[in-house]
Amino acid sequence: MPEPIEVRKVAIKHVSDASGFAALIDDGVIEADRVVAVIGKTEGNGGVNDYTRIIADRAFREVLVAKGSRSAEEAKQVPIVWSGGTDGVISPHATIFATVSSDTAEQTDEPRLTVGFAMSERLYPEDIGRTAMVSKVATAVGAAMKQAGIDDPADVHYVQTKTPLLTIHTIRDAKARGKTVWTEETHQSMDLSNGCTALGIAVALGEIEMPSDADVMHNRELYSAVASCSSGVELDQAQVVVVGNTRGVGGRYRVGHSVMRDALDQDGIWTAIREAGLDLPERPHWTDLNARLVNVFLKCEVSQDGNVHGRRNAMLDDSDVHWHRQIKSCVGGVTAAVTGDPAVFVSVSAAHQGPDGGGPVAAIVDLGSGEPTGYRPPTS
């Protein structure tokens, strides 16, 4: 049986700030050696050359070493997934997951949060966008589920991944070995890596059958409702964090999920929060959350037909500002309006993650007794 999970969200005050993380440890909320995952947003451009992810990663791993007994090498094994780009009102932040001792956690037989982690086999540049990547990711998802103590895929509500994208260097490496790559456009490879990874998650959870190479990025009817995939230059494997619920583990927290059907679908966000276990009015407002919402995690994607809610938009035709930044800003604003908190995890490039033009939503809520641990926005 896995151990109970404590999960907290902290603000990032500047690009190399990890003071909120350190304070959680100093205040005894979590132990550094029990941290199992960190998922956060940094304030860079969200592109191939977004080095704010690396800066934040270093800052958080330094805290793991300074406040615990892990060596620097051991700290590197903790999954820390950064999504770059806080366009619009999105606020830089990190969500920290840590185990707690079973005898200190609230006891309940109700489903409660559990987390598992795994790394895939090495992903070569020629794998990205092809079924070799799908298979390697699917295997890693299965391993992460086992670590989380989850047998039924229906109990998985959120799978966060980080995978490699293509760079000029890795493209040259593939060619030097006589291999081909799916694309030589490095920025396009971000969408490609994310989409192919999502198909691997969908296969692992039984949402779809194994796709063909031709399906990748083309058959948008194939998707996962729980995948949240990011990519970067930091690694050459798939880093997989599975978040779900299991009975008997105890603790305060529970996760639920849904999908947004398009960029304005607030109901999709509210449904995920309800599915996590909060009792809400028929037409809820962020003041109804009462600090019970820890965080929401969303992926977003511009609709391939150039429409939102039945109206034409020009994001795909804009040569000044890439659609990645526009849709992220839009969905970030919609999400913050729902939650009352701009520190929401909204990530772009959602091919095969939720329906076309929409995306998956996961919500973690605090169902524990006593003072809730979520954010309470100012009311004036």
- What are the catalytic residues? 162, 230
**Is 361 within 8 Å of 268 (Cβ atoms)?**
yes
- C-alpha–C-alpha distance, residues 137 and 119, integer Å: 9
* Kind plus residue range of the DSSP H or E element containing 341: none
Q: Is 151 exposed, middle or buried, given 0-12, 13-18 or 19+ CB atoms closer than 10 A?
A: exposed
Give the count of beta carbons closer than 10 Å to the beta carbon of residue 62: 16
Q: Give φ, ψ of 282 to 5 degrees.
A: -60, -40
**Is 299 within 8 Å of 357 (Cβ atoms)?**
no
C-alpha distances in Å from residue 324, one per residue of 10, 16, 150, 240, 314: 25, 24, 34, 23, 13
Side-chain half-sphere CA neighbours of 39 within 13 A: 31
- The per-residue DSSP string of 150-167 comes to --SGGGEEEEEEEEE---
- C-alpha–C-alpha distance, residues 201 and 205, integer Å: 6
Give the count of beta carbons closer than 10 Å to the beta carbon of residue 184: 13
Task: Pull the structure tokens for residue 3.
Answer: 């151990």
- C-alpha–C-alpha distance, residues 6 and 159, integer Å: 18
Q: Give φ, ψ of 326 to 5 degrees.
A: -70, -45
C-alpha distances in Å from residue 253, one per residue of 5, 21, 180, 256: 7, 19, 45, 10
First to last CA, the chain: 45
